[in-house]
Amino acid sequence: MLNSSNVNEPESDSQPKHVSIDRQAFTSPQAVVEDLRTLPSGPRILPELLALLSSYGSNLDAIIKLIRMERALAARVLKVSNNVNQRGMGECTSIEEAVGRLGFEQVHRLVITAIGLELEGKNLPSYGLKGVQLWIDTVTVAIAAELVAESVGLDTRTCYSLGLFHGVGMVVIDGWIQQKQLELRFTSTGFPYDTTEGEFTMLGFNHAEVGSALLKKWNYPAELFDPIRWQYQPEKSVSYPKLAAVLFFARWIRDAVHCDDSVPLPFLSSNDYLGLTFRQLGEITEKTKDRLAQSSDLLHLA
């Protein structure tokens, strides 16, 4: 367990007060999701596709049929199947051959990564974020979450998916702000609260709540939308506190990987669910850096 003397404990009632500047415009995370007219439709195939990819007895034809429903996804599957690592095997020109060549594990990762890019690879003016940086940060959290899960014996596929979708609420909020032609800007304060303080002040809710509402609307399983909802307060998750804690630590690792300044250490209470040591966190951070450097395919899918 982490030593409390080396940990920055949160202040009591550290979450900012809910202040709404316009009760008619700012209602609830669910209302924002329902009100946004430009929600992408592609990710709705993911629950069924993930279920098929998680079962080694699945019908390959069913997987191929779903991939074919999304033109951009099909194109990326073909692209990766023809990458430099596959040279010598001849050019792959069909989805059937591509899926067979890559195998379930690689297709699983490629599918959720491609969909994550569709959701989180765009500029977010309200957050001052370029799509490239947002996507690099997103992939970093996904890799870190996968490595944390590996260290504590949790499902790595689920945690990788959590990492890729952890910030999708920012995409929804930004789209909604542009739709309403509002002049709102959010600045990240870094770990542990990121942009949530400003969101609470101006909206009365944060992007984690909105992201959870979106995934719930798309009928994603609770093991995805619940941890995303509570990634800033894992102790409040009734059903999946360990998965929420994985995201909490993955965000810390993201900042440790990308920030030059020292990053405050994770809260002691958030570690009660995983039992990570500082040494493990350091090792996972270094592994994340290495794996990120090797993930050129994931970072150049566009």
- Angstrom CA distances, 90 to 87, 93, 96, 280, 291, stand at 7, 9, 14, 42, 27
In this predicted structure, the answer to whether residue 148 has a pLDDT above a threshold of 90 is yes
**pLDDT digits over 15-66, tens only?**
433 333 454 455 799 999 888 877 655 456 666 776 676 665 566 777 777 7
pLDDT of residue 302: 41
Lowest mean pLDDT among 107-111, 118-122, 136-140: 118-122
CA distance linking residue 73 with residue 102, whole number of Å: 14
Task: Give the tokens for residue 6.
Answer: 């080396």
pLDDT above 70 coverage of the chain, percent: 71
- Rg of the chain over Cα atoms, rounded to whole angstroms, equals 19
How far apart are the C-alpha atoms of 284 and 144, rounded to whole Å? Answer: 7
Instruction: Give the pLDDT band (50/70/90) at residue 207.
Output: very high
Count CB-CB contacts under 10 A for residue 85: 11
pLDDT band at 185 (very low <50, low <70, confident <90, very high): very high
Higher pLDDT pick, 38 / 274: 274
If you search the block for the tokens 């890799």, which residue do you land on?
143
Domain boundaries, the chain: 28-299
Query: Per CATH, the architecture of 28-299 is what?
Result: Orthogonal Bundle (1.10)
Determine the Cα–Cα distance for residues 67 and 215; give it in Å rounded to an integer: 20
Q: Which residues contact 208 (CB under 8 A, 6 or more apart)?
A: 166, 169, 196, 228, 229, 230, 231, 232
Average pLDDT over residues 244-251: 95
Which of 44-48, 86-90, 114-118, 191-195 shows the highest mean pLDDT? 191-195
pTM assigned to the model: 0.77
pLDDT score for 211:
93
